[in-house]
Each structure stands twice: as structure tokens, then as C-alpha cells.
């Protein structure tokens, strides 16, 4: 599974999904399918995740003139992430999971530990951050301002509906 950061958001960094699929296929990926317009791809690849990430970032940079960050996860990784959800009773539209480009350093995680976002909440587990927007993302006063850049990694977030759909697509390959 491939998740791109910051494409087709607010009219910036436009990337047609047909071009994304073609680019993945040009790298030898098979069974390539996209979901919605925000850079979600389910595919099969013989490339190691790090190599797929690097090659896809380079190919997209050449094709569209900007280089979106790419995060790769296997279907099993996604299933594990969903199983580890520390907010199992949260409304799925109010819980986002942020997938990081790599696991942040402990010191970086510690810097965010004291940030008060109540009544909202966040939890970092490995290379994922669970963001519980109690009243919704659009009304967030504190969690939306969480300084994720202090983690020293890039993050791309998806809501539970999208994540579950991607996992369903991946399981059907």
C-alpha cells in the first residue's frame, strides 16, 4: 500500500490518479488501484518498501514537477495498526491515523508528550500517530495545532473509513 502526502489538497500539488497508476506500473508494480483523489494506492510490488518509496518519489518528481512524500505499508502493517487503535470507541470520522515516513526518535516523541490537547487526544505507537478529534477535525482548537514537525518525520493521515477501504482493497488482490 502506498500513501502520498499532500497531493490534490486545496488545489495544490495536483496529481491525476491515472498518472499515479501509470507511474506505479512503470516501476513494475502490478494490480495497481487508487482510491479517492488523495494519493492512496493499493498494489503489488517485488521491490522492497524503501526502494519502492525512493523510486516512486523520484519518478513522480520527474513527472509532475514536485516530489510528494511516499509512505508504504503492507496490508498486514495496516491490519496491525487498526488492531492497535488506542481509541476503539471513537467515531471513525473523528479519528485519523497518521502514517510516518519512519519511526520518530524517542526524544522527539517525548517533546510532544506534554502538549495538552484535551479534550482531544493523540497517541504515538511506533511509526503511527492516532489523532482523536473528539468533536471533529473541522472544529479542533488544540489537536489541529499539534506541532507534528517536532517529530522530525513527515506524516500523512487518513481517516478510518479510508484506511479500512484500502485494507479491503489490499486483501482482495
Q: Are residues 109 and 60 in the same domain?
A: no
Per-residue confidence (pLDDT) for residue 46, from 0 to 100 = 96
User: How distant, in Å, are the alpha carbons of 27, 87, 105, 109 from that of 122?
Assistant: 36, 9, 17, 11
- Tell me the CATH number at 66: 3.30.70.1280
Helices 49-64 and 17-26, packing angle to 10 deg: 130
Single out the residue in 23, 46, 72 at which a domain terminates: 72
Per DSSP, 13 falls in state S
Q: Are residues 81 and 166 in the same domain?
A: yes
Count of the separate structural domains present in the chain: 2
81, 128 in Cβ contact below 8 A?
Answer: yes
Q: Are residues 106 and 167 in the same domain?
A: yes
- List the domain range (segments joined by +) for residue 141: 75-171
Question: Average pLDDT of each block of 10 consecutive residues along the chain (173 residues)?
Answer: 87 89 97 94 97 97 93 97 97 96 96 94 98 95 94 96 96 94
- Tell me the CATH number at 134: 3.30.70
Rounded to two decimals, the pTM is 0.94
Q: In the structure grid, which three cell numbers stand for residue 113, read together?
A: 508528550
Please give the Cα distance from 120 to 70 (Å, whole number). 28
Amino acid at each position: 500500500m502506498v500513501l502520498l502526502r499532500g497531493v490534490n489538497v486545496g488545489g495544490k500539488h495536483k496529481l491525476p490518479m491515472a498518472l499515479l497508476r501509470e507511474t506505479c506500473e512503470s516501476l513494475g508494480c502490478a494490480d495497481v488501484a487508487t482510491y479517492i483523489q488523495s494519493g492512496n494506492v493499493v498494489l503489488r510490488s517485488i521491490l522492497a518498501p524503501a526502494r519502492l518509496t525512493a523510486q516512486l518519489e523520484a519518478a513522480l518528481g520527474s513527472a509532475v514537477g514536485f516530489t510528494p512524500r511516499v509512505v508504504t505499508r503492507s496490508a498486514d502493517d495496516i491490519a496491525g495498526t487498526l488492531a492497535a487503535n488506542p481509541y476503539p470507541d471513537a467515531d471513525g470520522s473523528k479519528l485519523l491515523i497518521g502514517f510516518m515516513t519512519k519511526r520518530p526518535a524517542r526524544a522527539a516523541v517525548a517533546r510532544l508528550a506534554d502538549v495538552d490537547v484535551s479534550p482531544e487526544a493523540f497517541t504515538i505507537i511506533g511509526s503511527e500517530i492516532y489523532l482523536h478529534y473528539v468533536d471533529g477535525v473541522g472544529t479542533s482548537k488544540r489537536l489541529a495545532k499539534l506541532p507534528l514537525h517536532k517529530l522530525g518525520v513527515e506524516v500523512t493521515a487518513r481517516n478510518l473509513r479510508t484506511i479500512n477501504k484500502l485494507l479491503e482493497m489490499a486483501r482482495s488482490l
